Amino acid sequence: MSSTTPASTDSSSLLARLHPSHYLSTHLSHSSRPSSSRSPLDFPDVDLNLGPIASSSSSNRPEWIPSPSALARVGSTTVICSITPSIVYPPQMSTPSSSQASSTVVPSINLTPLSSPSADFQSGAPSNFAQCTTERLYEFLDSSLPFEPELLHIPTEGGEAAGAGVEEAKRGPPRAKWCLFADCTVVGYDGALLETAMLAITAALRQLWLPKSVFSLDENVVIASPADYWSLSAHMDSLPLAFSFAIYDEQLLACPSSFEADLAQSSMAMCLSAEKAKERKASRSGKREDTGDEWSLCAMHSTGPLRATNVALSPGKGKPLGDEELIARCLALASARAGQIAATLRAKEADVESAMQKARGAQQ
């Protein structure tokens, strides 16, 4: 039995290289996926590790503050994100901006040749694929607005160090503000890069603590407190997540692998966001029942015709769904999956919070 398994694997790999379309169609005809035991509408497993980079951000922060970094794994794709806050001095000109979040959170994707032996990733300048993924992350961060961009404005002397930037923004551009560089390194790649990077960025942002700071008019510099920090997570109004779908031969595939995405005739990427209002209300009332998150569509990008037969309801089985019906179905699938990912993220954050409280108590 053991001698036939390698031969079977080799023949499958050879068939996938010689006749990829036939290989994929054969799997889909049996409601399976080539790369895993998932069905076409199943999502891959998700794993999270918060604060894996000990040297992330400033090394001068107190020891009880977690590292603003996260490792996200979706299927076989793994991305490590590290948040590096930097102080920038915007020009003192009141110019309208339609991309406030992108100027506050700056994502970048580093695709190394070691991340995927089968993919043609070259070292050096970012590839077109990496640049397109980065642009999509910009778009999704802009549309979801995980926090108000004015929150990172550094107030001048006389105001509170956290939150006063929102009020000052009404009077004109800030003299200084925080800019968050989200550096994503792809450790392993097999499709689903957009959702994995978005999850890593969201999780890392929720681990970020910034020192309370003010802009000194006399010295024309920013003065930051060495011990007084505030959490960005406490001010984040939404939880943005990304999901991708592909359509091959009128078969909808949730979270396609790189092999499936290359053969797909159509693709769809959507950004969902859950508001935090219900969560706060439930926690203040002390009730234990879970009201659940209400996920809303913030942005969507699609290519090719959107027609699929494997998601039709029972009465219309076999009849392709139209654009609006298919988008609604994908939104329902993504919303259900987003709730599971959000529960995993909050469970990980609870463990980090418990460890942080212990470390903080040990120092006092």
Residue 142 has pLDDT above 50, yes or no: yes
Region of poorest pLDDT, from 88-92, 155-159, 236-240, 330-334: 155-159
> At a CB cut-off of 8 Å and minimum separation 6, what does 8 contact?
none
Q: Using CB atoms within 10 A of its CB, is residue 359 exposed (0-12), middle (13-18) or buried (19+)?
A: middle
In this predicted structure, what is the pLDDT of residue 220? 84
Pull the structure tokens for residue 41: 């509408």
Indicate the pLDDT class of residue 295, thresholds 50, 70 and 90: very high
Confidence at residue 9, expressed as pLDDT on a 0 to 100 scale = 56
pLDDT band at 25 (very low <50, low <70, confident <90, very high): confident
Range of lowest pLDDT (100-109, 123-132, 190-199, 332-341): 100-109
Specify whether the CB–CB gap between 225 and 211 falls below 8 A. Answer: yes
| Structural domain 35-363, CATH architecture | 2-Layer Sandwich (3.30)
Average pLDDT, the chain: 80
Percent residues over pLDDT 90 in the chain? 41
pLDDT (average), residues 295-307: 91
* Tens digit of each residue's pLDDT (9 = 90 or more) over 80-128: 999 999 998 887 655 544 444 446 899 999 988 887 766 667 777 778 8
Out of 38-42, 90-94, 128-132, 163-167, pick the least confident. Answer: 163-167
Mean pLDDT, residues 126-136? 89
Maximum alpha-carbon separation in the chain: 80
Please write the tens of the pLDDT for every residue from 254-289.
Answer: 999 988 999 999 999 999 998 764 444 444 444 434
Distance between CA atoms of 137 and 125, rounded to whole angstroms?
18
pLDDT of residue 183: 95
Which of 162-176, 293-307, 328-342 is the most confident on average?
328-342
DSSP 321: B
pLDDT in the model for residue 284: 41
- The lowest-confidence range among 63-77, 201-215, 275-289, 338-352 is 275-289
pTM: 0.85
Q: 280, 259 in Cβ contact below 8 A?
A: no
- What is the structure's pLDDT at 96? 47
Under 8 Å between Cβ of 144 and 299: yes
**By the 8 A CB rule, do 181 and 83 touch?**
yes
pLDDT at residue 31, rounded to an integer = 82
pLDDT at 93: 52
Over residues 220-240, mean pLDDT: 88
